[in-house]
Structure 1
Amino acid sequence: MKVFAVPVDFNTPFPRELFDIISPERRNRLSEFRRKEDKIRGLLSELLVRLVLDLYYGIHSHQIHIIINGFGKPFLKNLPLHFNVSHSGKWIVAAVDDQSVGIDIEKIEPIDYQKISRSFFSNEEYTFIMDQQKQDQLMSFYSIWTGKESYLKATGQGLSVSLNSFSVCNDSGKIISNVSPGNEEWHLQSYNISPEYHLTVCSPSAVFPDKPVLFTLEEVIGHFVCKS
């Protein structure tokens, strides 16, 4: 497994030819976005995956065909690799592996985490959050939230699975590194790429990289502009 991240500067010029590199489906979807920031995040999400597949796996962009399953999860057609992407605020992140993988990043912002966790989390998870010191509760909420989201993305089921139907906490009330709905075992790994964000990766494997590989925005854009 490999995990990657790139920070975004929304004031950076993005050459129009970059939109010709991504899949027609994503290009059409981006055309419906009104906000510039949403278009850029969507563009960079796919460019990051294409860059990684080229640099680390020798798969060139013209060989990459991305399809979407019935739950909205993207797959690589005719390639023995799995990937997942996420973005929030100024960060775009991706995970690539030879088995199913999910990734989620969230910007840590003040929200009514007590109401949300009571409504959508398991009783065990809600109790875990509320048992923390007041100053740690918000971070605990995002730790659970990104864990649950990354699991749903890894399994490819999305929100067809209820958020309170599984738990990423054990009986002792601690965040653990695996969730086991049914007979499946999944593992979680969190990374600290910025104090204002929480990033979690989910995989059937318990082996994770020590840290994400960081690209600059210039490296991502330059890779494709130089080759186009």
Structure 2
Amino acid sequence: MNIFHADQPSHIEVYAIKNSDQIHDEMFRALFKTLSPDRQDYVSKLRRASDYQRSVLGDAMVHRILRDKLGLDPMHMEIIRNAYGKPFLKEHDNLHFNISHSGHWIVCAVSSTPVGIDVEKMEAIDMDIAKRYFHITEFNALLDCDPSVRLSRFFDLWTLKESYIKAVGKGLHLPLDSFALELQGSGWAPVLGEDGETYYFKQYAVEEGYKLSVCGISRHFPEDVQFVTAEEL
């Protein structure tokens, strides 16, 4: 992980960790102890083991990245949330991060400008979901797709749109049908946000059956995801 310098050109970094049966309970207990008291309390209340494990790995990964970027002791890092629930590092508003998890993947994006990330495990869905939540032009484009790629395109759109509303920082308070995404050449066209900023997109492959999308004000996306292990945290 590279050290973060505020005077460097804005760029984005993307990290991923895979939850696995190979990660022993002792490791989860050790990582749990590195969490803040508030997060320990939150994580302890999760009923499903998979939710507990993903939360512990996700928080530990964020702490490791922020520690390496800023050279700070974790005890001196305070993560707060805006009115819409987006996390920020207190007193370090020039370092942005976002996290997402689905299935056995936990992913994180970091940048000196706003950034959002979303990963989803693909599964069969009712296309009425697209009709209900997507912009009408996106829904019509889905209907025009070959049925063999329709599910894949749905999750393209879903993760891209989620990454955008997370980058903006409003979460689902910004309706998914309030903006439309469009394929442009080999990628997705940027979106002009309500704040006047232009947001760019990039997708990555982590595993067959998953979709991973990243959105940011910076157009300096990495070529690849940086994969980390529990032992590195």
Question: Structure 2 length as normaliser, TM-score?
Answer: 0.87
1:206 aligned residue: 219
Same amino acid, percent of matched pairs: 38
SS at match of 1:21: coil
Q: 1:53 and 1:87 mapped to 2: Cα distance? A: 18
1:179 aligns with 2:187: no
Alignment-mate amino acid for residue 21 of structure 1: T
Q: Which amino acid in 1 is paired with 2:24?
A: P
- The Cα shift of 1:89 comes to 0.5
Which residue of 168, 178, 199 corresponds with 1:165?
178
Q: Superposed, which structure 2 residues align to 1:40-189 within 5 Å?
A: 40-79=53-92, 80-112=94-126, 114-169=127-182, 176-182=188-194, 183-189=196-202
Asked if structure 2 preserves the Cα contact closer than 8 Å seen for 1:189 and 1:200, the reply is yes
Question: Structure 1 CA distance, aligned partners of 2:21 and 2:169?
Answer: 30
Aligned residues: 218
1:4 paired residue among 15, 35, 59? 15
Distance 1:194 1:157 in 2: 28
Q: In structure 1, which of residues 14, 17, 28 is the aligned counterpart of residue 30 of structure 2?
A: 17
Stretches of structure 2 lacking an aligned partner (at least 5 in a row): 1-11
CA-to-partner distance for each residue in 1:139-194, whole Å, 9 max, x for gaps? Answer: 10000000111111111101111110111126x89962312244331111100111
Partner of 1:37: 50
Of residues 173-182 and 117-126 in structure 1, the stretch that sits farther from structure 2 once superposed is 173-182
- Tell me, in whole angstroms, the C-alpha distance in 1 between the residues paired with 2:176 and 2:87: 21
1:195 to partner: Cα distance? 1.1
Letter aligned with residue 55 of structure 1: D
Give the match for residue 223 of structure 1.
none
Contact 1:65 1:77 in 2 (8 A): yes
Distance in 1 (alpha carbons) for counterparts of 2:132 and 2:23: 40
Change in Cα spacing, 1:144 to 1:123, as seen in structure 2 (3 Å) is same
CA gap of 1:56–1:119, structure 2 versus 1, over 3 A, is: same
Q: Assess if the C-alpha contact under 8 Å between 1:3 and 1:94 holds in 2.
A: yes
Q: Which whole-Å CA distance do the structure 2 matches of 1:68 and 1:203 have between them?
A: 19
Contact 2:187 2:202 in 1 (8 A): no
1-structure distance, mates of 2:78, 2:173: 25
Q: Which amino acid aligns with 1:12?
A: I
Which runs of structure 1 show a deviation greater than 4 angstroms over 4 or more consecutive aligned residues?
A: 172-175
Deviations along 1:42-80, whole A, 9 cap, x unmatched?
111111111122334433322221111111111001123
Superposed CA RMSD in Å reads: 1.9
Q: Which amino acid is the alignment partner of residue 110 of structure 1?
A: A
Q: Unmatched 5+ residue regions in structure 1? A: 221-228
Deviations 1:3-33 (A, max 9, x none): 1001111462233232221122222211221
Taking structure 1 as reference, are residues 168 and 25 closer, same or farther at Cα in structure 2, changes over 3 Å only?
Answer: farther
